[in-house]
């Protein structure tokens, strides 16, 4: 089993009972040892106490692992931040109910897309994220409209405060 998989297995055991989701796990080997960066999310937002608790519990689990043949590692656990740029598809469901800003590669041009969304040729949409289903991202915009955006038309999505 690869190192990142081992750490992810232990991380899931730590966060699941706390109702916390893993957004991202980055593991890098360098001269001074191992660098482990974890980004977590939970309904209602992540607190400093959440980060400290996950750090402590994960440290305890990692220190008992014989498969982890690294004596020196640096563990950092953080929240996604207020303006995190999405990196993976599953973040559209992890961050449901959060405010987002979506930048398109090109305007929604087909008549069916415009009529479904009742929209103009905008490249930027802001609103509350409702999730991703069947490669369609749904948000509720500031005019209380449900906007459906094909995933493949999205250039960038980020949390918006």
Report, as ranges of residue numbers, the positions in the chain whose pLDDT lies below 70: 1, 66-70, 109-121
Whether 34 maps to a domain, the answer reads yes
Task: Assess if residue 84 is contained within a domain.
Answer: no
Question: 19 lies in which domain range?
Answer: 3-78
CATH assignment at residue 96 = 2.30.30.100
Query: Are 52 and 112 within one domain?
Result: no
Is residue 105 assigned to a domain?
yes
If asked whether residues 148 and 103 sit together in one domain, one would say yes
Whole-structure pTM value:
0.80
- For residue 55, is it within any domain? yes
Provide the pLDDT for residue 115: 47
SS3 annotation, the chain:
CCHHHHHHHHHHHHHHHHCCEEEEEEEEEECCEEEEEEEEECCCCCCHHHHHHHHHHHHHHHHCCCCCCCCCEEEEEECCCCCCECCCCCHHHHCCCCEEEEEECCCCCCHHHHHHHCCCCCCEEEEEEEEEECCEEEEEECCCCEEEEEHHHEEEEEECC
As for how many domains the chain has, the answer is 2
């Amino acid at each position: 089993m690869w190192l990142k998989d081992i750490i992810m297995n232990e991380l899931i055991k730590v966060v699941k009972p706390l109702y916390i989701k893993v957004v991202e796990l980055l593991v890098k080997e360098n001269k001074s040892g191992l660098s482990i960066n974890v980004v977590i999310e939970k309904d209602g937002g992540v607190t400093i106490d959440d980060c400290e608790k996950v750090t402590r519990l994960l440290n305890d689990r990692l220190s008992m692992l014989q498969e982890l043949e690294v004596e020196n590692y640096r563990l950092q656990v953080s929240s996604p931040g207020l303006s995190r740029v999405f990196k993976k598809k599953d973040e559209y469901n992890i961050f449901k109910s959060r405010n987002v800003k979506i930048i398109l590669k090109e305007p929604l041009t087909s008549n069916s897309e415009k009529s479904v969304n009742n929209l103009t040729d905008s490249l930027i949409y802001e609103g509350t994220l409702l999730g991703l289903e069947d490669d369609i991202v749904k948000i509720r915009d500031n005019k209380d409209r449900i906007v459906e955006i094909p995933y493949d038309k999205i250039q960038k999505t980020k949390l918006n405060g």
